[in-house]
Amino acid sequence: MKFVCRTCGAFMLFQEVEPIREESLGVTFGCPQCGNRISMVTNPGETQLVHALGVKLGGRAEAHQPLELTRETLQSSSSKGGTGQCPFSDVVAEMQGTLTESEAATVEWTPEARARLERVPDLVRSLAKTAIEQIALQKGSRRVDERLMDEAKDRFMR
């Protein structure tokens, strides 16, 4: 969004943001050509939304760089260890009463079983892993091999 100076028609530039009241912000813009100034006051709902979204109000010391947002997004996801997996599979697994961390840590996967697990789509991989480990523990085993993978596949693919 940009503001246009009604006096000379130039785009106005951000100058400052200041708290007006506890729940409102005053955002001041100025015209670089004629010096005209205006202020915009946010209501409490808008102020809360700005803070909740983590929006930074204010100008920049330097010009935007090409693909800046894309680079920042990629850097942010890689610094968080993001692998592009769907976050909802973890939530669903959590809701189903999954294994405790110590239980999951004690289940051993054979290399062949792990390779098969890697072929499961990202969207459901963590859910499938948890369910397969639960089957192993229910059977009194702490090892997932190809035979157990076949059994789990038969159970889930009916």
- Which whole number is the average pLDDT over 13-20? 85
Task: Give the dihedral sign, CA 146/147/150/151.
Answer: negative
In this structure, whether the domain defined by 1-59 belongs to CATH 2.20.25 is answered with yes
pLDDT tens for each residue of 113-145:
999 999 988 888 888 898 899 889 988 999 999
pLDDT at residue 93, as a whole number: 46
Q: Please enumerate in sequence order all residues whose Cβ is within 8 A of that of 121, keeping only pairs 6 or more positions apart, or say none.
A: none
Query: Is 26 in contact with 40 (CB distance < 8 Å)?
Result: yes
pLDDT in tens, 82-114: 455 554 444 554 444 554 555 556 889 999 999
Q: For residue 29, give the DSSP letter.
A: E
pLDDT of 37: 93
Choice among 17-21, 49-53, 65-69 with the minimum mean pLDDT? 49-53
CATH of the domain spanning 88-153? 1.10.8.550
**Placement of tokens 């909740």 in the chain:** 52
Indicate the domain borders of the chain: 1-59, 88-153
- CA–CA separation, 26 and 12 (whole Å): 15
- Judged by DSSP in three states, 41 sits in strand
Check residue 63 and give its pLDDT. Answer: 64
Task: Give the number of other Cβ atoms within 10 Å of residue 136's Cβ.
Answer: 23
71 — pLDDT class (breaks 50, 70, 90) = confident
**Would you state the pLDDT for residue 124?**
84
Quick one: angle between helices 111-118 and 146-156, nearest 10?
30
